[in-house]
Amino acid sequence: MTATLDDPLRGARRAVQASRFREAWETLVAQPEAVRRRSEWLLLAAMARWRLGEYAPSREAALGARDGYRAARDPDGEMRAENVAAAGAFALGDLPQAERGFRRAQLLAERLGDELMRARCANNLGNVAYYRGDDLQALSFYRLAETRFDRVGLPYGVAETVINTGIVWRDMELLSDSLEAAERAFELAFRIGSPRLVAQALAMRGEALALLGDHPLGHAQVRRALELAQEQEDHVAEVDALRILCTLEADRDAARAEQMGRQAVTLARSLGQPWATAEAERDLGSFLARVGRGAEAAERFDAAAAGFESLGAEARAAQMLDRAAAARKG
């Protein structure tokens, strides 16, 4: 009992470190008001709520933590809170604010000699570059992040970076490279026992396998990824699995495919994540075009274009507008 009173945030801290984010949040909200005003409470809350898909309150808590750490002249806490606040801005689609935050966190990490945070910032800046459609810059950041994560001995970070790299390869239609990245990420995720990363790696591997022609195995792996994502309350991974299944189910069960596509759009919208929403709209549009519902497909492509444009992904937005025009022509 004494240890708990001396360190009331120990349980939440351990839950966050073990990726038990729902448990962490429930532990945090049970704390008395005096504890909930602490900068560490705010930072842990921001981390837990980000992982639970609650991006706006996560960002608000992270900014509060950052200001508290800054006032206390704690650059390490400020750095960590800045990174989480930037991640919140990123998830909400504010790329300029996200990039500024990640670069501020990176600068603090360089001053402190924190190689782990430098790795995280490189990975996060790679994500910003990817959203903006600069695949080569994204790959450069991811290579740097992977090297740094490996140097500090963090396989979880390596796996995340490999997954991000595989996503870029997929978008560049380098499917064999994407599959190879998925295989490596799955092995890492399985070895460290992370169901969240296993789900993400399985979804990517399943999609690559299906696109390369192995539809039964690809479909089974994405289905398993969906189950894991739902178990872990990883809603972004859930959206990804649903939208991929919308495409894979198109020739097997059109009604089921449409249901999954619409579920992906609804869930992505509820998260307030423009990128996930745009991707879900795009894939639902692709399904509708495939089954001859051109006018409905065009509406989805237009929505995807608006989402991509809001993120500064102009090339992707232009592609969606072209596909909308083609769908209207029939």
pLDDT tens per residue, range 43-77: 999 999 999 989 999 999 999 999 999 999 999 99
18 and 27 Cβ atoms separated by less than 8 Å: no
Question: pLDDT value at position 1?
Answer: 37
The alpha carbon torsion through 225, 186, 124, 128 (nearest 10 deg) reads: -60
Per-residue pLDDT band at 3 (split at 50, 70, 90): very low
The pTM of the full predicted model, rounded to 2 decimals, is: 0.86
Q: What is the pLDDT of residue 132?
A: 86
Mean pLDDT of the chain: 94
**DSSP 8-state secondary structure symbol assigned to residue 31:** S
CA 144 to chain centre: 19
- Name 296's Cβ contacts closer than 8 Å, sequence gap at least 6: 288
pLDDT at position 219 is 93
Indicate if the pLDDT at residue 33 is higher than 90. yes
CB 315 within 8 A of CB 322: no
What is the model's pLDDT at position 2?
39
Question: Is the Cβ–Cβ distance between 197 and 156 less than 8 Å?
Answer: yes
**Which token pair is 299?**
């509406």
Element (H, E) at 98: helix 95-112
Report d(CA 327, CA 193) in Å as an integer: 44
How many Å is the Cα radius of gyration of the chain? 20
pLDDT value at residue 227: 96
Mean pLDDT of the 223-239 span = 93
Band (pLDDT 50/70/90 cuts) for residue 252 is confident
d(CA 166, CA 176): 10
Total residues found in the chain within this entry:
330
**Percent above pLDDT 70 for the chain:** 98
Q: Is the pLDDT of residue 287 over 80?
A: yes
Q: What is the pLDDT of residues 204-221, one digit of tens each?
A: 999 999 999 999 999 999
Please name which of 145, 87, 84, 159 lies closest in space to residue 116, comparing C-alpha atoms: 145
Look at residue 5 and tell me whether its pLDDT is greater than 80. no
Q: What CATH number has the domain spanning 1-113?
A: 1.25.40.10
- Which tens digits make up the pLDDT trace of 259-285? 999 999 999 999 888 899 999 999 999
Task: For residues 14-29, give the mean pLDDT.
Answer: 94
**Closest by CA position to 55, among listed 214, 180, 253, 236:** 236
The share of the chain scoring above pLDDT 90, in percent, equals 85
Q: What is the pLDDT of residues 161-189, one digit of tens each?
A: 999 999 999 989 999 999 999 999 999 99
**Residue that is written with structure tokens 């909308």 in the block:** 324
Digit-coded pLDDT (tens) for 69-119? 999 999 999 999 999 999 999 988 898 999 999 999 999 999 999 999 999
